[in-house]
Chains A and B, each alone.
Chain A
Amino acid sequence: MSRGAPWLTALRFGFPPLRGLAPLFALLALWQLIDPQGSPYFPPPSAWWNGLAGLARSGRLFAALGATLTTFTLAIALACVIGGLLGLLIGRSRAARRALGPLLEFCRGLPPPVIVPVGVLVLGYVESLKLVIVVLVAVWPILLNTASATAALSELLGEVSQTMRLGRLATLAKIVVPSAVPAFLVGVRGAVPLAIIITLLVEMLTSLPGIGSLIVISQRQFHSAEVYGLLVVVGLVGFVLNGAFVVIEGALLSRWPPRASFAQGG
């Protein structure tokens, strides 16, 4: 059915022509050439590299990167499972939607960063703190999108399951879940950047190990080259993680009818 590898298609549509990177590289090259000597605030890109190399040699860079990526990956995985399951449950039951409505609306509206101090206060500075907070934040877009897509399931599809005399389980597996997947993925798409930001914020606020605390330490010691270098690292991490999700989403959705990919919950 699909021509060529689906992930390749996703990649091609997801990104504009690469020659468009020229202005960015020109800017960096110009920065390097002008090299504002003596300014501690604008170290040239070559100095960023040296700063990163120093951090890498001491082993701090990869330890921090590992800690941040572990938290992020575990948190997204847990949020997908919890958000998906709760979303299905809430979406299937009209009574639950109505009863939990105001509470869910409030949680949706609550700006995610305020969850961090609440978590710190209630849980204390424990090892699992980072993970719990990031899951708590990342679960909302997934849960709400899944719930509203499940709730908006067309009556026609409900009649299909009656006509085919599908049991409860079969209806869930063959009709409800597949029709909620595109909206679920939209939810995950929203959760990915949020989870990155909140992971970094927790690390910055609590100094638990990770890229966030590393960058703050460098900043406090006025190692500006390291700060810029770590900014690039965070940028790469953000780019790769978001890109990876676009690829996975494209590959999954290539098995769905095209219209489904536009179904947005919310």
Chain B
Amino acid sequence: MSTPAWLAVDRLSLTEGGTRIIDGVSLQLGAQRTVVLGPNGAGKSTLLRLIHNLLHPSSGELRWARVLSQAMVFQRPVMLRTTALANVIYGLKLKGFTATESARRAQQALLRVGLEQLAKRPARLLSGGEQQRVALARAWALEPELLILDEPSASLDPASTREVERTINAIAASGTRILMTTHNLGQARRLAEEIVFIDGGCIAEQTPVAEFFQSPRTSAAKRFLEEETP
């Protein structure tokens, strides 16, 4: 880790209906781009939601170095039944910007993701890839210090996936921390600085990306990479 931790997760647990979904997770997040990997049902999405405050832990706590402004993008883009521009404006208005200021920032955000042509189109009529980029624009317009993404390109084709990755890179380049999960190992390789490998609700290992893919430390990770790689 090159930078001091911006978040210390301390023995975080979440039990629901008798099952321990997250089991005493402790870790220090300090990288600028962290990708969480793990088999299905390991608890990746749950961990992200706990960090984003969408879920409340049964025990344990999150210790922030300082509280960061956050935004989240989900696997399926949630678009309101209005134009792409209005969708981006919505988030800005919620933050307290005036109508004119919101419109200006929204236009800028769409420009940055390359969708300024589609600003006035009904968001729900756009392709999956375009909608996801609108979601990214919406998040980016809020200038979050931490952007959380839950399998952002899982439902997209390769071309759209590349566009989404390009946008994530741009957002990271502008200084935002990235915390995401994915099933796409190539994507993890391309985007991550650090891999957090989670298995059965516990952290199995936390390794810089190159090392993780070449020689993972745990047997669980080894097995995972073998199974996932075609």
- Asked if A and B bind, the verdict is no
B interface, CB within 8 angstroms of A = none
